[in-house]
Chain A
Amino acid sequence: MNTPVIQVKGLTKRYGTADAIQDVTFSIDEGEVVGFVGLNGAGKSTTINVLLGFLGASAGTVEIFGKVIRPNNAHQSHRLIGYASGDMDLPENLTGKQYLTFVAHQFTGSFDERLAALTERFKPQLNKKIGQLSRGNRQKIALIAAFLPAPRLVILDEPSSGLDPLMQQEFLHLVREEAAAGTTIFMSSHYLQEVAESCSRILLIRGGTITRDMAASELNQIGGKRVSIKAAFEVKPPSDVRLVERSNTRLSFVYQGSASDLQTWISGIKNLEDISIDDHDPEAAFEELYEQETTDA
């Protein structure tokens, strides 16, 4: 059996008496692309910071490539890890080219061809000082730096924030290509569409605890159609639907059954005043997931 690339067991990070994350446990195998999703303050960045050794664990362990990670030895695992975050502070007095040269020198090997390919893809402004660049251009340099040394594991914390839609698509293409080449990717994101499109697995974190670990394909099952109706009288919803809103005259629910059954149900409504049927997109599905977890908690 292969050793997981990331193995987190009972991880807790405490600040004073407050737990930023508690008892976080998950593992990620080689080649997986895992999305790490949660609201602001849910514990995504704290978890990632412990994985990278920026923070020490209050309890529990983190193993990356089979080695236990602590602040004083994390640099050893960084030979195999690329990292970028959405709020990464790059040295403002250096140009993008100088910074990427500095990054390349910290790894073994020549990365000229890879740098050329990544530069061609993201088209960053390499000859300007980083401090003079827009947020989006700085983010391009951070992403190039993360993928430059051809790492076996890429850890990304809100990686595409600041990128324009075109560059977000380029980024997603890059993630898919790297994953196809066997790179393991662990990525937190606010752009849920991005996670749904690029990840094979999704970890949901809420209040510092992993509340759901699911295959990305399950999102489609959570998806379905969102049906909203307005009628003169109260309408009883079909069975096995997830209610979103219900009042005397209004009804809104997520429907995952067959279209013909839905058609039959609609034809039975008397005095129908209005109806809308929309795709229940991943973003909405996630929102529902959050709501579910909140209700369950």
Chain B
Amino acid sequence: MRNVLTKTLYDKRGLLIGWCLGLTFFGWLMTIFYPSLHDSGSGLVELAAKLPPAFAGLIGNLADMTMLNTYLGSQLFDIRMPLLIGILSILLGVSLSVGDEEKGGIRTVSALPISRRSILLQKWAAVVVIVVLAQAFTLVGILIGLVTIHESLDAATLLRLGGVTALLAVALATLILCIGLASGKRSITMGVGVVVAVGSFILTTFARSIDWLKDYEKLSLFHYFPAVEVAKGTVDLKNILVYGVIIIVALSASLILFTRRDIK
């Protein structure tokens, strides 16, 4: 254990293993449901036509369930995965920032010849590693599911879905980590984390059926991850740029504030 990054990863190994196993199971479970839904094919399309539009936001477009890639896009990556990733991001961001500071961990590390800049960047690197690994294990679960149901999906589709989800998760976790390190206040960090994650979920799901919400949907972090389109092969670089800007702005602001404030 040579640095803050490896120390943090070692410290969070329980959380990492738990989430990786959980997301592997979740990816597998959602994948093995596909044949049952696919077999209902035309029935689903007819049902979709009869359902009120409000349902589309909550359960996804039923017509997307007829193809494996769009099924995974709409049912796993568009609705459920962002919520799960949101929870992971809040847990991770809060525990590595205010949680660690409340336990005195940041003070203890700061007493060593390690700059605050380095502490922040190494903690952020740990967030990236954990989130990317958790997402990679979701893909592993999907692959196991595909073997279970004797289906196949091209690797590029999986990598696109996994990659953009990981980027969304990194952006959200970075935002929460940086607010925590910049402010040192649990209430602010938790509050912003919950508002951003839950607010984004609500905005994105309900904006599909509530007209006046559509104008605000761009405020949702999930707006920039149209999973079905990504599953079909379209990755809008503007969306990637939005996540990139969030990450850079959050890190920059946090570097300025965290290196100057009092540590509890």
> Which positions in A face B, CB cutoff 8 Å?
52-56, 70-72, 74-76, 78-79, 81, 83, 87-91, 93-94, 98, 101-103, 105-107
Judge whether B1 and A102 touch: CB under 8 Å.
yes
Looking at the assembled complex, report how far the CB atom of B258 sits from the nearest CB atom of chain A, in whole angstroms. 9
Q: How many residue pairs, one in A and one in B, have C-beta atoms under 8 Å apart?
A: 73
CB–CB A89/B104 < 8 A: yes
Q: Which residues of B contact A75 (CB under 8 A)?
A: 110, 112-116, 118
Answer whether residue B239 sits at the interface, using C-beta atoms and an 8 A cutoff: no
Binary per-residue interface labels of chain B (99-132) against chain A in the complex, 1 for a CB within 8 Å, 0 otherwise: 0000111011011111110100000000000000
Contact of A91 with B108 in the complex, beta carbons under 8 Å: yes
Verify A93–B111 contact, CB threshold 8 A: no
Query: How many Å from the CB of A222 to the closest CB on chain B?
Result: 34
Given known A-B contacts A71-B116, A75-B116, A101-B1, A93 and B11 have beta carbons under 8 A apart:
yes
Q: Tell me the B residues contacting A by CB distance below 8 Å.
A: 1-3, 7, 10-11, 103-105, 107-108, 110-116, 118, 259-263
Residue of B nearest to A103 (CB): B112
Give the nearest-CB partner of B261 in chain A: A71
Answer whether A56 and B262 are a contact pair too, CB < 8 Å, given A102-B1, A105-B2.
yes
A78 near B7 with CB under 8 A, answer no
Please indicate the chain A residues that have their CB under 8 angstroms from the CB of B118 in the complex: 75
Docked complex Cα distance between A276 and B36 (Å): 96
- A-B contacts, 9 listed (Cβ < 8 Å): A54-B107, A71-B116, A72-B260, A78-B112, A88-B108, A89-B105, A89-B107, A101-B1, A107-B113
Q: Name the one of A55, A71, A98, A106 contacting B113, with C-beta atoms under 8 angstroms.
A: A106
Question: In the complex, which of the residues A53, A79, A101 has the most CB atoms of chain B within 10 Å of its own CB atom?
Answer: A53
Q: Which residues of B contact A72 (CB under 8 A)?
A: 115-116, 259-260
In the complex, are the beta carbons of A89 and B103 less than 8 A apart? Answer: yes
Complexed CA–CA distance, A70 and B2 (Å): 26
The answer for the CA separation of A93 and B10 in the assembled complex, in Å, is: 8
Across the interface, do B10 and A83 meet the contact criterion of CB distance under 8 Å? no
Residues in chain B near residue A56, CB distance under 8 A: 260-262
Q: Is the CB of A76 within 8 A of B2?
A: no
Least distance between B17 CB and chain A CB atoms (Å): 13
Given known pairs A89-B103, A89-B108, A101-B1, the reply for A79 and B262 (CB within 8 Å) is no
Measured between beta carbons, the chain A residues less than 8 angstroms from B112 are 75, 78, 103, 106
Knowing A75-B116, A94-B1, A94-B11, the reply to whether A54 touches B105 (Cβ < 8 A) is no
Q: How far is the CB of A82 from chain B (nearest CB, A)?
A: 9
Question: Chain A interface secondary structure, helix, strand, loop or mixed?
Answer: loop
A78–B111 CB distance below 8 A? yes
Contact of A106 with B114 in the complex, beta carbons under 8 Å: yes
Give 6 A-B pairs besides A93-B11, A94-B11 with Cβ atoms closer than 8 angstroms. A52-B110, A56-B262, A71-B259, A79-B113, A91-B7, A94-B10
In the bound complex, residues from chain B placing their C-beta under 8 Å from that of A94 are 1, 7, 10-11
User: Which of A53, A75, A78, A88 has the largest count of B CB atoms less than 10 A from its CB?
Assistant: A75
Q: Which B residues lie within 8 Å of A91 (CB)?
A: 7, 11, 105, 108
Is B2's CB under 8 angstroms from A102's CB? yes
- B108 neighbours in A (Cβ, 8 Å): 88-91
Q: Which residues of B contact A71 (CB under 8 A)?
A: 116, 259-263
Picked from B3, B11, B110, B116, the residue with its CB within 8 Å of the CB of A105 is B3
With A71-B262, A72-B259, A89-B105 as contacts: A102 and B7 at CB distance below 8 Å? yes
Residues of A within 8 A of B3 (CB): 105
A282 and B215 CA atoms in complex are apart in Å by 74
Cα A120 to Cα B116 with chains together (Å): 33
Q: Are A76 and B111 in contact (CB under 8 A)?
A: no
Nearest-neighbor residue (CB-CB) of B262 within chain A: A55
Please name all residues of chain B whose beta carbon is closer than 8 Å to the beta carbon of A102 when the two chains form the complex: 1-2, 7
Nearest CB in chain B: distance from A227 CB, A: 47
Shortest beta-carbon distance from B262 to chain A in Å: 5
C-alpha spacing A90/B103, complex, angstroms:
9
B18 to chain A, nearest CB (A): 14
The answer on a CB contact under 8 Å between B111 and A83 is yes
5 closest A-B pairs by beta carbon, nearest first, are A89-B104, A78-B113, A72-B259, A79-B113, A83-B111
Chain A residues, Cβ within 8 Å of B116: 71-72, 75
- CA–CA, A54 and B7, complex, Å: 21
Chain A residues contacting B7 (CB-CB under 8 Å) are: 91, 94, 102
